[in-house]
Each structure stands twice: as structure tokens, then as C-alpha cells.
Amino acid sequence: MEFDGDALTIDLSMGIDEIKEFEAFVRPRIDYIDRIEIGEGGELKSSALLALLMSLKKTRREIVIPFLDKGEYRSGTYGTIHWIHYD
């Protein structure tokens, strides 16, 4: 996880303990984060990260999370994963 100004860059390959730490870090700071980016090269390990990102987007709709906006992720392990989010 890297915090640069109003943008936060995270790694997709976080395990559940890291996701919990990320949530504990980001929730109190959500009003100060304008963008959450995904770093290159990680592989999605847990659907909990996807659920957390969706929850953050619902909490603060103006936050930009390009990973979510694409609506799909191509994984070498799982193939293509699609999701639908409602505004």
C-alpha cells in the first residue's frame, strides 16, 4: 500500500490480514482519498478485497477506483471475473 497525496495504490495480492489492515487504515481517511489505484503485477487472492472496494465506493461515491469501473478482471488462475455494481 502506498499513499501519495490524495491517491492510494494497493496490491491485488493482499491476503485477508492485509485486507483487514487496509480497511482499518482507509475507513477513517476515506474523506481524504480521491483515488484508489491497483499496482501492477498482483493477482487477486480474495474476493474480500473486491467486496471492500465496492463498499468504499458506496460509502463515498465520488472516489475513483478505475479497477471497479472496468467491471472485469483477467486472472491467470481464475480466468475472467466480471462484476456489476449499481450506483
Model confidence over 25-72: pLDDT tens digits? 999 999 989 999 988 877 888 889 999 999 999 999 999 999 888 888
Average pLDDT score over residue span 8-16: 91
pLDDT at 5 over 80: no
The grid coordinates listed for 20 are 483487514
In a domain, 55, yes or no: yes
Domain total in the chain = 1
In a domain, 12, yes or no: yes
Strand pairing report for 7-10 and 35-38:
parallel
In a domain, 53, yes or no: yes
In a domain, 7, yes or no: yes
Domain enclosing residue 25, as ranges: 2-82
In a domain, 59, yes or no: yes
Whole-number Å distance between alpha carbons of 8 and 64: 10
pLDDT recorded at residue 17: 96
In a domain, 87, yes or no: no
In a domain, 46, yes or no: yes
pLDDT recorded at residue 6: 76
